[in-house]
Chain A
Amino acid sequence: MFDLDRWREIFQSINKNKLRSVMSGFTVAFAILLFTLLFGIVSGLKNTFEGAFVDDAVNSMIVRVWKTTKPFKGLQSGRRIQLKNPDYDYLADKYDSKIDLMTARIFKNFSISYENKQDNYSVTAVHPDHQFLEKTIIDEGRYINQLDINESSKVIVIGRLIKADLFGEKPALGKRVNVGGISYKVIGVFSDDGGDNEERIAYIPVTTSQKLYGNNEYLNQIRIGYNQDLNLDEAIAFGNLIERDMKSKLDIHPDDQSALSVRNMAEGRKGVDDFMIALFFIVVFIGSGTLIAGIIGISNIMIFVIKERTKEFGIRKALGAKPSSIVGMVVQESVLITTIAGYLGLTLGTYILSLIGNSLERDYFIKDPSVSQGLVIGATFVLIISGLIAALVPARKASQIKPVVALRAD
């Protein structure tokens, strides 16, 4: 029902009683402001944790080896463990159904040169699946493929920054670079979300590396991307299974984490998931606390305001105001103030978040703090409803006071 006269009454009442209106508006604006900041920062935290996994495939694990620290089956501690091609093939065959992606890794460092430019870079020898496990983004050309593995081709995929170092603006694809004295053909240029260090790497085929540098079957790591269908708990169990299996295969004490370990992304993921759930409950708790404080604030102010206006209501009633007109006026005024104030709090909160967003990301690793509009509109809605109820209850009561009593009030 739109009643222009009613709105005029309300605007006059708000306008002529600015302090009162500002007071009640402030409570709401402040509650919504806090709410916005809280949820904004928490969503930033969430982005940070999720961002930590952007770089690598979430459903993956890495089998790593080093030296034994425990004697086992008559073998002394301090023995160097070495992964080899048969270990890779063993895992690939035995767990075929649970494995989606698989690659070995051999880490090398070489000086790479092109024409008169040269520098030292990490060179990692990999299988084709490494592209997906590392989430490597091919900008130009292609990645290592199975044919390269089969033929031990001297091909290389270089990071964006290597290309910038050696080639500048010139094209790199198809050119030959010198890698530790051996000539390789550049077949691709890639970028990676993992940061600059991961773009100063070059990839070569595993077989090429083994053949050219030492002629052996040695591998540094085996990385496995497991089936997407495994849930977090199953993935963790799978990781543990592989660890036990490999330890028994390589005669390592079951508790010797130094000799062989499996770094399972699912474990970190589970930790973060648990943390996010805990955070969610904390936020819900604090967020609803903030809202409740806002609601109590409005209720108190409305009770005070209505008490203060009792005499005015008495006068209005003596002049012929029906109780419904008194209630409507007060409720409409309250809802108007809550809505405007809620909107202001929301706008201010969003603005502050956008202002501090950059420094939060730089100094506190809180990434892109922002709130979903739906959430805050929901919160504002809750406050508007509360403003309505907060006004309705005391206004009803005040409107039923006998005029003679109301007129005596001061």
Chain B
Amino acid sequence: MIRIKNLHKSYPIGKDSLHVLKGIDLHIKEGEFVSIMGSSGSGKSTLLNIVGLLDEHDEGEYYLNGQEIKNLNEKKGAVLRNKFLGFVFQSFNLISYKTALENVSLPLYYKGVSRKERQKIALDYLDKVGLKDWASHLPNELSGGQKQRVAIARALVTQPKVVLADEPTGALDSTTTDSVMDLLKDINNEGMTVFVITHEEEVADQTKRIVRLKDGIITSDTINVQRKPVKTV
């Protein structure tokens, strides 16, 4: 699904440049549940943004669903994101003047789905994250955990190949963290590839594979055998 070879990324800072990713090799297969662990500033978000086509890499190769990502223009990037990727951000990134339902149906609008169809599908996904009754609420009327669940519904609504989550629980307390992680596990159990960034051991512990990043280099990549049992659906 995702294949990365010797990936490099630097940020220009004045005249100098900050070398953030220093040769990453990573292969994520369809249906995996992977977490990237690492301390703050280790380059996790940078990696995820490149994987999510929100940013470009400088060197190396990146294949998404078998297609090499190279010199992508904004238009092609938008189409690929819409088709293959779903995003969950730490700060939710919901559009403040749109209701939960409208936020969830927005990716379908860009996919070209008809309005009626959009609303039906979006409502199904809100139901799936347990927020059907909140469909007509604006984001500022929702709690942090609810917002993140809306964001997850929005990430899933186009049935992408991969869900990318950058510290999805970073702004949540432990109870809501668990409910969000349960949701991600459910999604993965249904066969979706899930790629989570975190710096919390408890969160990483609930994933099937843990990749550790330090100073832009992968230091370990392990199958998480003693992960907590998945809640039976």
Measured CB to CB, the residues of A under 8 A from B are 4-5, 8-9, 12-13, 16-17, 311-312, 314-325, 399-400, 402-404, 407
User: A4 to chain B: which residues have CB within 8 Å?
Assistant: 115
The CA-CA distance from A312 to B53 in the complex, in Å, is 17
* Cβ B110 vs Cβ A325 within 8 A: yes
* Cβ B74 vs Cβ A319 within 8 A: no
User: A12 to chain B: which residues have CB within 8 Å?
Assistant: 97-98, 102
User: B55 to chain A: which residues have CB within 8 Å?
Assistant: 402-404
Write the nearest CB–CB distance from B138 to chain A, whole angstroms. Answer: 9
Task: Say which residue of B78, B93, B154 sits within 8 Å of A321 (CB atoms).
Answer: B78
Name the residue of chain B whose CB is nearest to the CB of A312. B95
Interface residues of B in 71-94 (CB under 8 A from A): 74-75, 77-79, 81-83, 87, 89, 93-94
The CA-CA distance from A254 to B200 in the complex, in Å, is 110
Q: List 15 A-B contacts (CB under 8 A).
A: A8-B115, A13-B97, A312-B95, A316-B95, A317-B81, A319-B110, A319-B154, A320-B79, A320-B83, A320-B111, A320-B158, A323-B75, A323-B78, A324-B75, A400-B74
* Cβ A323 vs Cβ B111 within 8 A: no
| Closest 10 A/B residue pairs (Cβ) | A320-B82, A16-B97, A320-B110, A404-B55, A403-B54, A404-B54, A319-B107, A322-B78, A404-B49, A323-B74
Interface check B134, CB cutoff 8 A: no
Name the residue of chain A whose CB is nearest to the CB of B114. A5
The CA-CA distance from A308 to B75 in the complex, in Å, is 22
The CA-CA distance from A5 to B110 in the complex, in Å, is 10
Write the nearest CB–CB distance from A309 to chain B, whole angstroms. Answer: 10
Name the residue of chain A whose CB is nearest to the CB of B52. A318
Q: Number of residues in B with C-beta < 8 Å to the partner?
A: 30
Measured CB to CB, the residues of B under 8 A from A are 49, 52-56, 74-75, 77-79, 81-83, 87, 89, 93-95, 97-98, 102, 106-107, 109-111, 115, 154, 158
The CA-CA distance from A320 to B74 in the complex, in Å, is 10
* Cβ B98 vs Cβ A321 within 8 A: no
Question: What number of A-B contacts does a CB cutoff of 8 Å give?
Answer: 74
The CA-CA distance from A402 to B53 in the complex, in Å, is 9
Write the nearest CB–CB distance from B91 to chain A, whole angstroms. Answer: 9
Of the listed residues A5, A12, A318, A321, the one surrounded by the most CB atoms of chain B closer than 10 A to its CB is A318
* Cβ A317 vs Cβ B78 within 8 A: yes
Name the residue of chain A whose CB is nearest to the CB of B160. A320
The CA-CA distance from A322 to B95 in the complex, in Å, is 17
* Cβ B110 vs Cβ A315 within 8 A: no
| New A-B pairs, 15, CB < 8 Å, besides A321-B78, A407-B54 | A5-B115, A9-B109, A17-B97, A317-B81, A319-B81, A319-B82, A319-B107, A319-B154, A320-B78, A320-B107, A320-B158, A322-B75, A399-B74, A403-B77, A404-B54
